Amino acid sequence: MSEDDTNGAMDPRTDVAWLERLSGLQVAASVMVVILTGSVLLGWGIAPLGRWLPTGWALMPATTAAACLLLALGQLGLARRIVAPRSARCLGGGIVLGLAGLALVGHLAGRISFVGESLLGMDPVHMAWPVAGHLMLASLALLLARARGRVPTGLRDGLLVAQLALLLALGGARLFDALGLFPPAAGSSLTLPTLVVLLLLTLAQLAFHARAGLFSLLAMPGRAGRLLRRGWPAVVVLPFLVVTLASRLAPASLSSSAAALMAALLATLLLVMLLWMGGWNGRLEARLRELSLSDPLTGLYNRHAFEALGEQLRRLARRECESLSLLYFDLDGLKRINDELGYETGSRLIADFAGLLASHTRESDIVARLGGDEFAVLMRIHPEHLTGLLTRLEGERQALNARPEQSFVIDYSQGEAVIAPDETGALSALMAQAESRMLARKARKRAWAGGTGVPVPPASGLNPPRPAHD
Ligand SMILES: Nc1nc2c(ncn2[C@@H]2O[C@H](COP(=O)(O)OP(=O)(O)OP(=O)(O)O)[C@@H](O)[C@H]2O)c(=O)[nH]1
């Protein structure tokens, strides 16, 4: 399983502003869980403190509190990009898995109190089995949180859907007074504080999973994302309303357990359908957007897309404390190639150069044809890596020009600009800076070639000599 600890496997269509809000929700929900479970644990550990806590706090067993605390700390780490070593994450997730697994085994074996009596005369190891099940799902999702690829993403989505279904069933059981669905075993009970903590943990996970997969729609721009964000409360609440109404109209036909299960099942199904339809809609929207944002000759982004996506990348880079580098290219002698070898050959030069740029950049870089013979690349790389990239480009340019079948010379002038994470300049200023450096180099090349204003490379034949990069 490959991991990316800097930005996870984020969907490139994600709206950063929405991601920020969801990240805020993730932090807020996790902090609330830390406070709630931390207080409960203090109460269990230090008897006098327990007396200061509100009545009923001991209804949350210490094992549940400890497991939820660990999960909340894991979520906080993910939200704040505190990169815990893999071993720490595995240990935290493993402890939760172990606690929940032991509780489940205890319930199955019919004896939960295998650890002993608590300090306050109550057994702190009780964990209701639905809670144990929920925590097992949550800890597995946490262990897979940073794994990339279709399979781990699908698994995470499945685990989250299962948690939501279980939570809805628990909520339904309370609402329809059907706690018999989850019978208390050997003294364990499902209490409201525990339900609240589970809900907060699930919310935190949902917010994190908006980065990729089924739930990425939560942070999508456009109509599909809006539909989900506005539609999900209705989709969750509606089945409960309908089932409540049905059970009021025909009380004999529906037992409280059946009502709770039916409402939870319907709500889960509708939610998954909404997510699936929204995802389909979102992909369609993205395709249309792609068509309106790309340059038909090269398949690269056009200027409009470059400016829009560039601003997005700018915000993302600032959020992740990374530098942003911009390269501005202008082909040399295109007009002359058009005039001497034909417009089609000129267009081939443009397409070849676009291919050269695309093959030397990463998918996460924004590569665009700004118009005519001008190109730009915006990258989240450190400025010191720019020289290496330019050298590789130059090597490839020479290799292309050296091909026996090459009928025209590919040449370009380039300028660069870098913006540090703490700088506040706009993208347009960065572009202007890179363009003026490019123009200065072009002027130097012209002067170096004889100062006649003749385009630097001949349309065909041998490569012209170039002044060295400065
Ligand atoms: N073949 C072709 N030519 C294009 C395309 N788009 C713009 N052009 C032409 O590209 C030429 C660009 O001219 P200039 O900006 O003077 O570029 P240049 O000849 O490379 O000169 P310098 O940039 O000063 O080196 C114009 O003649 C445009 O008509 C296109 O898609 N295909």
pLDDT tens-digit readout, 363-408: 889 999 999 999 999 998 877 888 889 999 999 999 989 988 888 8
Which among 298, 348, 373, 456 is the best mutation to test ligand 1's pocket, defined by most ligand atoms within 8 Å of the CB? 373
Q: Is the separation of the CB atoms in 407 and 458 below 8 Å?
A: no
Q: What was the pLDDT predicted at 332?
A: 93
Residue 457 beta carbon below 6 angstroms from any ligand 1 atom: no
Structure-token match 């200065």, residue found: 440
Q: What was the pLDDT predicted at 46?
A: 84
Find the 347 Cα to ligand 1 centroid distance in Å: 9
Three-class secondary structure of residue 330 per DSSP: strand
Q: Which CATH number fits domain 303-448: 3.40.190.10, 3.30.70.270, 1.10.3720.10, 3.30.450.20?
A: 3.30.70.270
Q: Is the separation of the CB atoms in 68 and 197 below 8 Å?
A: yes
Buried b (16+ CB within 10 A) or exposed e, 437-448: bbeebbeebbee
pLDDT band at 87 (very low <50, low <70, confident <90, very high): confident
State the ipTM, two decimals. Answer: 0.94
Helices (H), 326-468: 334-341, 343-359, 386-401, 427-448
- Residue (of 233, 192, 181) closest to 55 by Cα position: 192
Residue 415 beta carbon below 6 angstroms from any ligand 1 atom: no
Name residues whose C-beta falls within 8 Å of residue 227's C-beta, 6 or more positions apart in sequence: 274, 278, 281
Q: Check pLDDT > 60 for residue 138.
A: yes
pLDDT band at 314 (very low <50, low <70, confident <90, very high): confident
Radius of gyration of the chain from its Cα atoms, rounded to whole angstroms = 30
pTM of the model: 0.60
* Mean pLDDT of all residues in 175-182: 78
Percent of the chain with pLDDT over 90: 36
Three-class secondary structure of residue 369 per DSSP: strand
Residue 50 beta carbon below 6 angstroms from any ligand 1 atom: no
Which among 295, 328, 332, 338 is the best mutation to test ligand 1's pocket, defined by most ligand atoms within 8 Å of the CB? 338
Q: Is the separation of the CB atoms in 9 and 209 below 8 Å?
A: no
Q: What was the pLDDT predicted at 453?
A: 43
Q: Is the separation of the CB atoms in 35 and 80 below 8 Å?
A: no
In this structure, of 174-188, 248-262, 390-404, the range with the lowest mean pLDDT score is: 174-188
Q: What was the pLDDT predicted at 148?
A: 79
Q: Give whole-number Cα distances, 176 to 240, 263, 433, in Å.
A: 9, 10, 65
Tokens representing 108 are 């199955």
Q: Is the separation of the CB atoms in 264 and 171 below 8 Å?
A: yes
Nearest protein Cα to ligand 1, atom 6: 372
Residue 331 beta carbon below 6 angstroms from any ligand 1 atom: yes
Q: Check pLDDT > 80 for residue 439.
A: yes
Q: Which of 41-50, 75-84, 243-252, 412-421 has the highest mean pLDDT?
A: 412-421
Residue 350 beta carbon below 6 angstroms from any ligand 1 atom: yes
Q: What was the pLDDT predicted at 137?
A: 94
Q: What was the pLDDT predicted at 118?
A: 40
In this structure, of 100-104, 109-113, 134-138, the range with the lowest mean pLDDT score is: 109-113
Q: Check pLDDT > 70 for residue 209.
A: yes
Q: Check pLDDT > 60 for residue 454.
A: no
Find the 334 Cα to ligand 1 centroid distance in Å: 5
Q: What was the pLDDT predicted at 81?
A: 62
Nearest protein Cα to ligand 1, atom 19: 335
Residue 297 beta carbon below 6 angstroms from any ligand 1 atom: yes
Three-class secondary structure of residue 450 per DSSP: coil
Tokens representing 370 are 């700004």
Domain spans, the chain? 16-292, 303-448
Find the 466 Cα to ligand 1 centroid distance in Å: 20
Tokens representing 265 are 């099942």
Q: What was the pLDDT predicted at 466?
A: 54
Residue 343 beta carbon below 6 angstroms from any ligand 1 atom: yes
Q: Is the separation of the CB atoms in 115 and 187 below 8 Å?
A: no
pLDDT band at 82 (very low <50, low <70, confident <90, very high): low
How much is the mean pLDDT over the chain? 82
In this structure, of 101-105, 229-233, 397-401, 415-419, the range with the lowest mean pLDDT score is: 101-105
Residue 19 beta carbon below 6 angstroms from any ligand 1 atom: no
* Mean pLDDT of all residues in 341-358: 94
Q: Check pLDDT > 90 for residue 239.
A: yes
Tokens representing 245 are 């109404």
Three-class secondary structure of residue 238 per DSSP: helix
Q: Check pLDDT > 50 for residue 117.
A: no
